[in-house]
Structure formats: structure tokens, C-alpha cells
Structure 1
Amino acid sequence: MADSGTAVSISVGGYPVEIFPGGFDEKFRCNSCTKILRDPVQSFCGHRFCKSCIQEVIRQGERVQCQLCINEGAGDDDDYSILKEEQMFPDNGVRREMANKEVKCINPGCTWTDIFKNYDEHARNCEFQSVECPECKTLVEKIKMEKHLTESCSGRKINCKTCNQEIAMKDEAQHNKVCPKVMVKCEACGKKKILREKLAFHQEKECASQKVSCPVGCDPVERGAFVGHLEKKAGMHIQWLMHQIEALTREVREKINARTPMDEVNRVGQMITVLQAKIAEQDNQIRELMDRNADQPRGNNQHELQQLTKQAKALDLKTGTFEGIVTTLHREIERCITALDTLERHKNSERETNEELKRKIQGMERAISLKDVTISELDSRIRSLEIVSYEGTLVWKISEWSKHRREAIAGRVTSLYSPHFYTGRTGYRLCARLYPNGDGIGKKTHVSVFFVVARGNYDALLSWPFIQRVTFMLLDQNNRDHVVDSFRPDPASSSFQRPTTEMNIASGCPLFMPLKKLEEVGTSYVKDDTLFLKIVVDSERPAGGGAV
């Protein structure tokens, strides 16, 4: 077909067909992704699609023909089978039919059932849905995420057993390969139990079997045989050493020039130059006189020789004096160089000390952070123990009510859990769950209150299912008109069987208190932005005491 498209494959856009436990009408199925319609629309040719599916199909060509029309024998010139966005309209009739159909959650472990119009909200909040772990990126059920992050996540933080550095669990093996505090073996000499951080020093300074490089350029030699190697080729090494001494001499002079006041250096240099010139001049004069006297009788020049001898002695005395001055200056220069080297070593030592102190401070900061977390957990447990009840009754004070209402309306925090209470010291462990903006059939119209059976330490000794009557009381703070509702648990419901997880699914009163009545002027259910909910568990069966 020239302009018409062939069958178009698109990404899945509908709901899973398994959500309808009792089956479904085929008109609820998307004709593109073959799943349950999501935001159903109907094309000009009469076939139904998910809104996202049909948009994806239309984007794939200018004249895309409906695949079902092709299967039913439509030709290229049948314009009614061409899919156009402007000819699509919402199929509200099918939407209404689907809204009240019974559905279930398909997440493993979730027993939620309700009508279809509430499925999207449950799917967003279902605690059994798989979500990606932020640390290890694996899929984990939302209800198990906290336990996963603390017990089995490969990305959770641990401390290295040898160096105490904080690392991810998954990186432990890789870290052990580079950990500086692990004991290792020198492969060259076979020595064991050397800290990895000191292995390099051992190999560079101590290991007799380690190959060391000869500075002259010879082949590497074992450290134990290095002295013999130097003696074997002494001439070549001495020549190299002389070159190094000359280079060091030049470097020392440069440092002296850089660190000694230039005026002093110049003055001493000028003095030495003048002395050298005078000594050379006197030497020339002495040689001339000696040459002259060699041709003359000794007696005629006796007086002159005496004078020259005195002058030579005086020059020797001056020369010795200036040589002493030069020697003193050299000693002073050497002292300055030694002091500079000492200062450099001291500076390096202080730098290493600062690095060590920095590492210790970081370790202490990590330890303090862990202690802060422990203190916070203990504080939370102490506060819970202060308000715990063992009489099957709980008066739950809910402060900042207006804030909880705003958060529930905005969808940020839809429900609140009460503190746990017990029917006895070894009794059932219970709590309540309140929805400030309602839940289920009471959503946006009522305050919903549900009862939760939680896993306790003495469940093995109790009678199951839980069948005691439960009463909810919203207390009028003027003690006039309390709102009371009660129910007896259904023994067949999984909500009242012995818990296999931390808490069973909540069950109770979705239409407990109309929001209009709660907010009426003159009522005293909310005072100072606080309300009180009382939960009473009937003790008609001796479960409150614990053991059966």
C-alpha cells in the first residue's frame, strides 16, 4: 500500500489484564497494546485505543491505517480507516463501565481488591510494588526497602575492619586489594606481615632482594649486591660522583646567593678580588727583584733584600688574616645551608603530622555521626515506651491537625500511624491508622480510621484469628458529643490472622467522621489544632492477658 502503514508496534501503554480477577469484556482491551485501556479513546473507524498508544501510532507516519481495519479487509482508499488525531475522542462510556468493575492488585503479596476507579491511586501507593534501590539499583518491594537498605543491600555503607574507612559493601573486595592497613608479603624477599602502606618504603629502603637502579645508568642490581657493584666499577662511579659534586656545588652557591644578603656577598667578593690582585702584584715584584739580584753580588743588595723580606712577611701575615676571614665566611655559609635543610625536614615532619591529625579527626567525626544516629533511635524508643499502654486502650493525641490535613490533601502524607499499644503485657500488639482526607469510599469526604494488627513478641501464645470488638471514639473536648463507631473483626479476613509481616493490612471505618461535621463552627473536636482519638479493644476473650 502506497501511503498506508503496515501493522505498527508500539510501547505498552495499558493496564495488565490480570487486574480483572473475574474476566473482562473485550471492548476494554486496547487494539494496539492488547492490554486494558488506559485513558480510552475511540477512532473514527470505531476501534478503541489507549490515549498514549494511539498518539505513538499516529506519530509514525502521515497516513497510518488502523491495523484492525486492515485485518477486516479495508483498502487503501478507505479514509475512515486512516488514524488522525483530530478524529479521536474520549470514550467516556467505556470509562464509566470500567470504573465499577472489581479489580485486584497484581503485585506479589498484596491482597488489595476494590473497584477499577481506585486502582491508579493504589498502584502508586502499593507497598508491595517493586522500586529501584537508590544504592544498588536492584528492584525491591517498597515494604521491604528499609530492611534491604540495612541488611542485604550491596551498596550499604560499612567500615573496613582494618583501616576503619567507610566504604560500600559491594566495594569491600576491591577496597581490600588497596587497603593500606592490610598485611602483605614482599614478593622480592618473601618477608610477610608488612603493612601495605609501608611496602613501598620496605622495597625502596630495606629489601635486600629488591632491584635498585644504578645512578650511572648500569643495569638494575639487587640491593644486597649494590656495594660490590660500586667497587667493581669504581672509576666510572667516582667520575659520575665528581660531576654530581660539581652540580651540587653550583646549586649551593645559587642557594647562598638567594638567601645571603647580596651586599655582604658583593663586599666579600670585592675584598677577595683586591687581595688576590695585591698578592699577584707583590709576587711579580719579588720575582723581578730576585731576577735582578741573581746578576748582582750578594753583598751589595743585602739591605734591599732585608726590606723585601720584611715586606714579604707582612704580605704573608695579611694573606693569612684574609684566608681566616674567608674560612669563617665559608663556615657561616655551611651553617646557613645546614639550618635551611633542618627547617625543610621540620616542615615535612609537620606536614605529615597534620595529615595524620586530619585522618584522626575524620575518623572521630564518623564515630560521632554513628553515635548520634544511635542516640536518636534510643530517644525514639524511649518516647514510644513512655506512652505505651498494656490495657487494650489508647488515647492518641494528634497535634498540628491543620498541617496533616494540608499534606493529605496535597497527597504528600496521606495517613498517620498511632503509637503501638497492647491488650496485656504478653498480649496482642496493635495500632491505628488515620487518613485525614479519607480513604476508599470516604476519600475527600470523611476522616477514615482503620485498625491494624502488628507482629508481636508473644504471637505464638495467642489465639488466632483476632476477634475482639474494636471501638473508635473521636473525643469532644467539651465532653458533650463523642463520635463513636465500632466493629467486630471478620475471622476470615487476612487482616486479623497472625501477622507474617511487620503489620497486617488495615481494616476499619472509612466513613468514620464527615469532614464537614469536623469543621463545623461550634464543635470542639479540634482545639488548639489538636484532636484526640480513643481506641478501645473489648476484652471479652482472654487474649488481653496473653497466653491461651
Structure 2
Amino acid sequence: MPGFAVKRKGGRIEPKYLCTICALLLCEPKQTPCGHRYCQSCVEDLARSGRRRCRARDCGEDIRLQDVYPDKAIEREILSIAIFCSNVEDGCKWEGIVRHLMAHLSECDFEKITCINAGQGCKVLICRKNLANHLQSDCEYRPVTCQWCQETTPHKEHKDHRQTCPVAPVQCDWCGKKGLTRAQIQEHQQPETGDCPKMKIACSFEHMGCKEKMEKRQLAEHLKKSVQNHLNMTKTYIVNFYSNFEHHRQQEVESRENMRILLPRLEKDIKDVDGKIAEIESKLSGEQASGAASSGGNKTLENRIEQERARVEELRRKIAAWETRVGTFEGIVAVLNREIEKCSSQMEAYERQRRQDREIIETLERKVRSLERIIALKDVALAEQDLRIQTLEMTSYDGVLTWKIADFTRKRHDAITGKTASFYSPCFFTSRTGYKMCARIYLNGDGMGKGTHVSLFFVVMRGHYDGLLRWPFRQKVSFMLVDQNNRENVTDAFRPDPTSSSFQRPTSDMNIASGCPLFVPLSQLDSSSHGYVRDDTMFLKIIVDTSDL
């Protein structure tokens, strides 16, 4: 971090204690071969920038990182300087030496810190004393749990979620029915299978020609009043159904009438031809008897006779063909008439059966939907019971919390990248009616331990029995990082400062965390000689002394 932006108690800070780059009180001072001093972070920034020349006004020498060394003498002097808190202008009254500044800043109520929801998108820098109120009321990214589906969303998105939550209760716009979820309302208003009594539906005789639409509860009354109309529509539908058959039948009737008119004419023509043939044959017989006819005349008569006979045979064949067709068409017409009558009877039977089936299906569907709603309510109740049981199983009431942190690698990576800098443990109690507490851990450190240590803090939470307890909280708190190889646990402990707001009776869900920003070095976690992390799991113990409660 850059230098300390503080004011010296009793005078100005001497220039030798100021960083050449940031002009603030040196933090982890480093000295260059040319004699100038820099904060460690400022030297690192200078190296990364590529311009490695001394920034002193009268110098400009090249700086090599390997030639830069810690200035312990100046550091000791700086750590002993009496100063005011860097937040003195914001109202902090703390006074002390630089050595104790970082410890103070880790719990200073006026220190500007990032919101714990920074990983979700909150960019607010806020005084530590105002953080609880910010998290409770102002943070747009504070987690809000949906009261219906229990899904957690950022506060800024919660309003949109409420408009789309499938489990949210809504009221039917048509019938005013309440107690349905948004998913159930869609089924309730489904035209074919819904049970909304005021839903507009088409008449069941729509395919017969009825154009009426009405509320579902009015359908029975409509059917009762429109029996005659529906019968007429059904009759029209049936007539149209076999109109093509009737058209063909009419064509055949007309053909049959034409044939009845044509047949007498053909018969008359045949009789005329037969008479002519008989007359010719009579003449031939007379001529043959008298012997007066010539051979040429005989041939002419014979030819005429053959022609007339051929004509007669042709007429007979046509008559036979027409009679055959008439008989066939009469049979077809009779069959069609029988089929039409049969279809009409079947359609009436099918319509009666369809109405009965529809009533049965609607009754069963209503029963199924009722059972589905009951099952859904049971599932919600079971889920709530499971969550309550899990919470009870993880809660201790003897002042000792054994905290299992699984999936350690991913959570540490999230802390390094800033996605989730910290997270809280399950709550625990000193007794059934005692103090309610939890722990908060930064796997990549916080404050003076950021990037080098794991920071572990203790949090006093608001409980149901706070009015019966002694305040401020005074119990000794011990932290323990468990060595899973059973060799060397890491322990630390502290007694609460009764003047700190962290240990007063909570006025919000939880107080400001307080504890150990330098609990354990990050390098020690990866040590092969210890088992602080095994199978990607870490175990912590938080022990609260309950001997005097």
C-alpha cells in the first residue's frame, strides 16, 4: 500500500520520513543507492512502469530493484512517531503511534471500506460505522430472498423478479380468483383445459356453425336455450356433409329420365327398320317368283337389307348398354341413400358420446389440477422443513463452532480475484438463550493482512434473547486453524474491547466484525509439513469462553 496520509501530533512530518513519489509518510520504507526513500509499493509501481529513474528533483539516477534495500532505521523512527488517525477530519479521535495505526484502522469506525457486496457490483466506499445501515437499507446489491420461491437476488433486480416469479400469488383478471401462482394462472386461463368460470370460450357446436362465445359457466345455459338452433345447424351440417352424394344421385336420376325418353324412340326406329326389311324381303320374294328381276337390281336390294340389319343390331346394343347403366345407377343410388342414413345416425351417436366424454374429461382434469396444487403446497412445506432441519443440525449451543470450509481452492481464487472477498460461517450460540455469533473469513486477507495472510474476524449478531444478556459482550474469543495431520494447530485469542461498537448490543442483524487481520500467513497454508488444507477442505474452530456465564 502507499504511504500513510496522517498528521503528526505536535508538528509537521519531517521530509526524510516522506516518500519521494507519493509524498506521504513512508510505509515499509526502501532506500535506493542514491540515498532517496520510497514506500515499498511505490518502488514496485515504479518498476512496473518501465521508467526506473529516481524521482527526486535533483537526482534522476537509474534504479535497479536488486540494489534497493529496506531502511530499518527510518522504519523504527517512523513507527514511533505520534500521529492522529488518518480519518481525523471525518471525526475520529484516536491518537497513537504509527506502529499501532494499522491495527486501529482495521476497526476504525471512520475508515472508508468497500461494501461486502463489491463482488456483486457495489462500488460504494463507506465508513465502517455506516456499513451495517448501508447493507440493511441502501445497498442496491444486498441479497434479498424472494418470499415465495426463496431465490436470492440483488435488491436492484428484486422488483423485476417479483414481476416474473412463477410461484408468486396472482389474481385472475377474469374471475378474480386468488391464491393461484403465476404458473397456475396460465393453466387456469387455458381455453381448452382451464377452469376459469369467466373465461370466454366458443360453443361446442362451433364446427356446426354456431358463432357464439361466452363465459365457461354460461355454456350449459347457452346449450339449453339453443337446442333448436343447434339441431338446425346439425341438420345443415349433415346435409352439407353428403351434398356431393346428392349431386351425383341427381345426375344419375336425370340420366335415367333421359334414357326413358330415348328408349321408346329407339324402339320405334327398330320397328320402322324391321318393317322396311320385311317390305324389301316381300318384294324380293315376288321378283324371284316372277323371274323378272335382273341380277344388278338384286344386289342393290341385298346391300340395303344388310345395311338396315346392321343398323338394327347397333340400336339393340345401345339399348342393352343403356339398360345396364340404368340398373347400375339405380343400385348405386340405393346404396348411397342407405349410407347417408347410416352416417346421420352415427353422427348423432358420436355427438352424444363426445359430450359425455368431454364432461368426464373436464371433471378428471379439475381433480388432477386440485391434486397438483395440493402436492405443490406439500413440496414447499417439505422444503422449508428440510432447510430448518439443516440449520438446526449445523447450529451449536455450547459456544464452540467447528467450521468446515469445503471447496477451498475455488473460494480462495474468488477471494484473490475479488469476486467474493469474504464470507460468513453458520451462526452459533453460547447457550439456548445466550449470545448469537458467527465468524467472517477473508481467504486473501483484509486491511494490513491483504495478500499475505488469512484474516479471521468474530461477529456478534442480534439474537432473540439479547434483552436478557449482559452487555457489552466480554467473553474471551479463541480462534483455531486445525492441522488435519494432528501436529500443530494455529491458535489466536483476544478479549473484547468493551468500548468498541463491535461488542455492544446489536441494533442491526450483526455488528462490525473484529478479530485477527493477520491470523495465519498464506504461505503457511501451502506448507507440506502441515495439513491445514486436505482434500480441498479447511477446518476452523471458534471457541467462546462461557465459564462465567
TM-score (norm. length: structure 2): 0.50
Greater RCO structure (CA 8 Å; 6+ sep): 2
Give the greater-gyration-radius structure (CA): 2
